[in-house]
Chain A
């Protein structure tokens, strides 16, 4: 039972264009959402997060949007750069459930020069 799903295993975009990574969840108790970025041979690193009381959070080139009614969040990267090429994981947690992070399967982003 995959509570957090990233249905696109991979995404390829041109440098300078927008990258949109999507994530769906099923558990309405989730109240905090995070995006992680992972390079090969490294651990995941935190990128950006959003609380369920917000619908948008922005940090430089990265913006996360949350649509609670659709149980959907997305990560926008504008403009995309070759150094953004990595695996992106979305994760969710519920304050009432030991705080465990539930991860999606990951999406591999390739940004072509």
Chain B
């Protein structure tokens, strides 16, 4: 089954404690991205990757890092989480930039 898998689904952490949200896709897609969803703001892109070892900032990259060492994996790293990063996060993959994106089930992160 074609899917995007992200873990964990739920996470509560404390300010400053580094965390990683994993994302993996099994569709051999080149384009992957991370979004955050906040009330009244829709989904905003954090980072994207057009291929292995190629990543770039989206609209709200501050406080986040990503890496793309393999085609299937695109982890999101919060080096020092802060309460304003409390949000619902989605990983997505697509065959190419701007085409239909497939989303993971989401990770609800709370930073206290």
Interface residues of A (CB under 8 A from B): 4, 6, 9, 32, 34, 36, 41-46, 49, 89, 91, 93-95, 98-101, 103-106
Contact = CB atoms under 8 A, between A and B. Distances in A.
Contact of B104 (A43, A89, A98): A43
Given A43-B90, A46-B102, A93-B98, A100 B43 contact: no
A100 B103 contact: no
Nearest to B101: A101
Contacts of B56: 98
Contact of B43 (A32, A42, A44): A44
A106 B42 contact: yes
B58 interface: yes
Contacts of B102: 46
Contacts, number: 64
B44 A99 contact: no
B48 A44 contact: no
B55 to A, nearest CB: 11
Given A43-B103, A43-B106, A101 B45 contact: yes
A44 B97 CA distance: 17
Interface residues of B, number: 28
Interface of B: 4, 31, 33, 35, 40-45, 48, 50, 56, 58-59, 90, 92, 96-106
- Counting chain B CB atoms within 10 Å of each CB, which of A94, A98, A106 scores highest? A98
5 contacts: A32-B98, A43-B104, A93-B98, A100-B45, A101-B101
Contacts of A42: 105-106
